[in-house]
Structure 1
């Protein structure tokens, strides 16, 4: 168990493009050991940007301009690039959205799991290989030895995603960023993958930052939810409260826009354009105030 009260602490994080356009606006959140927190919002809300900022994999033109990120009590912004990469690699892992592009198409599965374990943790090839086989078995992959000798294109989308889950959990990280890991999968496989992540997360006590645009997924997997719009936190609350007593109009609109399989006759209810315009107006005012503060 971690000695630190929070696995992850993000405080007043601002991320911007070179000309100053903010992509994240004063984002703050905490993630406790063993907790699953969902980041939810429409495309472009900044969900994945938070995960990338934490892992230190922002696009080259995008920079953290303000705020702090603490991983198990260590302020990542105070570390050298090399120390930060080492710290994050040993304590955190990523489950990416698209397993086909995340895996090297000309390299067998075995080395893609084993080599990082050797490089990051200094394990022997035998130890890393045994760990990889064990994890593939735990994610319910039949004949793990055959899969280790396979290329990504020889496997189904569901199997590739299971492999990425195994690779993420293999080194027993304290934090996993799951970046919409079910988006590219059909509904049946989605359910299996969600169950699998929750199962492994409970077994290992790993904290998970789960990025999604799907409120149905939020309800199934998370204990807490951060609702984002245009890089700004609209609401932050326990999952039960988000669904039973949402406080922000945008949260209520997102829930209303979620299709109901229990009531197929219910008309589709998109987020009102008037609400979007109002929120954009608030954010423009926010950016003006932020510019004034930065100029002083």
Structure 2
């Protein structure tokens, strides 16, 4: 008898994260991610996008405290698990595509073991099966001569190739969830387009759900089906991608879209998000934090 997949691959309920001094970094964040869905987390730097992904994967910085809320992975409450059990479940069911492939890959180890070792140690695959899967995925992400690449060190490869390798490694065990933390930021436009296409193709083939962290509304339009807009660690808007671009409900979302450069608008002046809107959002956030602490939820 086969096990039916849970309705939601990921569910985040009223997630809060703070620093030891009480500063709130995530503010009552809630969202869901269905099987096979790509959801973009978008906002300015410091909005809390990567913090959410790290909270899901259990790799928050040591100074950050997950103060309240819950995270469910296919219906299993991660917060209710012992740390060792949680690490095991997350490692088996999820994967990360990080932002900087050069720092993410071990510079003194060849590429091959960096892909195959997690398959052997975490997923209990045989070495032969892991090697076959690694070569298959490297070919799938359009890397020529994958045998040579498997025997190369990271510094011997281009940035685009290193990012393709991280994509291959993330999709290799067919995880339920992938957190893609701005995986195209350091790439030029041509390579960025290729990487987005690869992630979308592999995601569709495997049915993996993807939480895609980005600050680029152009990337949001290309990759996602739903969008969560963040400011200062709180959700301002959550809607299907089409609705976000055609009829955004929040002024901040409209500001982000308006500030996105377009190829046919080179003659128009740059339009940043209005500063008076930012100032109002900051005042609202401070007022919300006051209510939070006065309500005894510190």
Q: Does TM-score exceed 0.5, indicating one fold?
A: yes
Structure 1 equivalent of residue 216 of structure 2: 214
Structure 2 equivalent of residue 287 of structure 1: 289
Structure 2 equivalent of residue 38 of structure 1: 40
Structure 1 equivalent of residue 236 of structure 2: 234
Structure 1 equivalent of residue 174 of structure 2: 172
Deviation, structure 1 residue 218: 0.2
- Corresponding residue to 1:262 among 250, 261, 264: 264
The Cα offsets for residues 162-213 of structure 1, whole Å up to 9 and x where unpaired, read as: 0000000001100000000000000000000000000000000000000000
CA RMSD between the two structures? 1.0
Structure 2 gap ranges (5+)? none
- Is residue 2:144 matched to residue 1:142? yes
> Which SS does the other structure have where 2:221 is aligned?
helix
- Kept in 2, the 8 Å contact 1:95–1:179? The answer is yes
- Is residue 2:61 matched to residue 1:68? no
Deviation, structure 1 residue 2: 4.9
Q: Would you say how many aligned residue pairs link Structure 1 and Structure 2? A: 296
- Kept in 2, the 8 Å contact 1:7–1:73? The answer is yes
Deviation, structure 1 residue 3: 2.4
- Corresponding residue to 2:81 among 68, 79, 82: 79
Deviation, structure 1 residue 20: 1.2
In 2 relative to 1, CA 221–58 (structure 1 residues): closer, same or farther, beyond 3 Å?
same
Structure 1 equivalent of residue 114 of structure 2: 112
The Cα offsets for residues 131-167 of structure 1, whole Å up to 9 and x where unpaired, read as: 1111111111001100000000000000000000000
Structure 1 ranges of 4+ moved more than 4 A: none
TM-score (ref. length: structure 2): 0.98
In 2 relative to 1, CA 2–234 (structure 1 residues): closer, same or farther, beyond 3 Å?
farther
The Cα offsets for residues 30-66 of structure 1, whole Å up to 9 and x where unpaired, read as: 0000000000000000000000000000000101101
Deviation, structure 1 residue 263: 1.7
The Cα offsets for residues 230-281 of structure 1, whole Å up to 9 and x where unpaired, read as: 0010100000000000000100110111111122111100111111110000
- Is residue 2:160 matched to residue 1:158? yes
Where in structure 2 are the equivalents of 1:93-112 lying within 5 Å? 93-112=95-114
- Distance, in Å, in 2 between the alignment partners of 1:11 and 1:295 is 15
- Kept in 2, the 8 Å contact 1:2–1:72? The answer is no
Where in structure 2 are the equivalents of 1:188-199 lying within 5 Å? 188-199=190-201
- Kept in 2, the 8 Å contact 1:9–1:69? The answer is yes
